Amino acid sequence: MFSSCRLARDVIVAAFCLVASAAGADEPPPVWAYPVAPPDYAPPKDDGSVRHVPGSSRGYTLTEIRDLFVARDWFPDAHPPMPAVVAQGRHPDTRPCGVCHRPEGVGGPENASLAGLPADYMLRQIDDFRSGARSTGVKERAHVFRMVAALRNLSEQEIAEAVAYYAALKLPPRITVVETDTVPASDVPSWYYTPKKDGAPEPLGGRIIEVPDDEENFVNRDFHVTFTAYVPRGSIALGETIAKDGLDARIPACVACHGEGLKGIGDIPPLAGRSPSYLVRQLYEFKHGLRDGPMAAPMRVTTEEMSLPEMVALAAYAASLKP
């Protein structure tokens, strides 16, 4: 049994490495990992009705949910009291953390899940964003720059309160990883994917397509919403090899720094159960110097020989693990 499994794994690795050999250091960002709202996208109009999500007694209109200066809190008993910086923004350009990252810290495929990240790690990332050492591979992703503007307006006390709050939370399991050759054709209404109404399939290719299982309540910012991440066949097995053993002396084993089960060690962040789209973006950005803070050097070395298919595989495996 062991030898047959090892042989199957080696065949998968060889197939992925054939693709890897064609990858160059000047590769453009994988556009599928950086969904951008179309310039002509018009969001649905608010009909004035009060929206609800299962299990909550609260109700908000679509206009209230879209207010980027107030973090709508459907489940206040599901987390400690939010610091003001998480709950409420300041006009004109200081949006609260909880709008995008949610009061529960789960975020979405379009941004980071902050729940359970080490406090020292988050502080480093805030410093890197504020200094310009950390950016994004696709400049059209305007929400990244809105966040940077907000971070630069925060006091050190506000930053400390937000970091302590999110570090104390736990990330719930919320991603199902599905290996497949085809995926429902998708639209990008606003920084995320959703299947088109006709449901016609299309080849997945080397992409990861991550969609909310309940789009309406994802739009409502309900943290209970789960996601399905479609990944290429063989991704999880190859990702497990990279994570546990490294690959071809090019890529060191991820567990050496990120710990068994990729659950993090000290101020090295956990990867398990986090958005694979997000993880691919980070791997690409480390490789291409878009994450260049004081602690970025080891990841730059790790990723400089990593191909995009290998990034996809590692992200798929990490997302398949329990947080």
* pLDDT of the residue at 190: 84
Mean pLDDT of the chain: 92
Of the candidates 92, 91, 90, 110, the residue with the CA atom closest to the CA atom of residue 100: 110
Fold of the domain spanning 7-36+40-173+232-320: Cytochrome Bc1 Complex; Chain D, domain 2 (1.10.760)
Residue-range domain boundaries for the chain: 7-36+40-173+232-320
Q: pLDDT digits over 198-221, tens only?
A: 878 999 999 999 999 999 999 999
pLDDT at 2 over 50: no
Helix boundaries (H) for the chain: 2-20, 62-65, 84-87, 97-101, 119-131, 142-153, 156-167, 215-219, 235-245, 255-258, 276-287, 297-303, 308-320
Q: What is the pTM of this model?
A: 0.91
pLDDT band at residue 17 under the 50/70/90 scheme: very low
Q: pLDDT digits over 260-272, tens only?
A: 999 999 999 999 9
pLDDT at 24 over 70: no
| 8 A C-beta contact, residue 191 and residue 35 | yes
Residue 55 φ/ψ region, left for φ over 0, alpha for ψ in the -120 to 50 degree band, beta for the rest: left
Q: pLDDT digits over 231-257, tens only?
A: 999 999 999 999 999 999 999 999 999
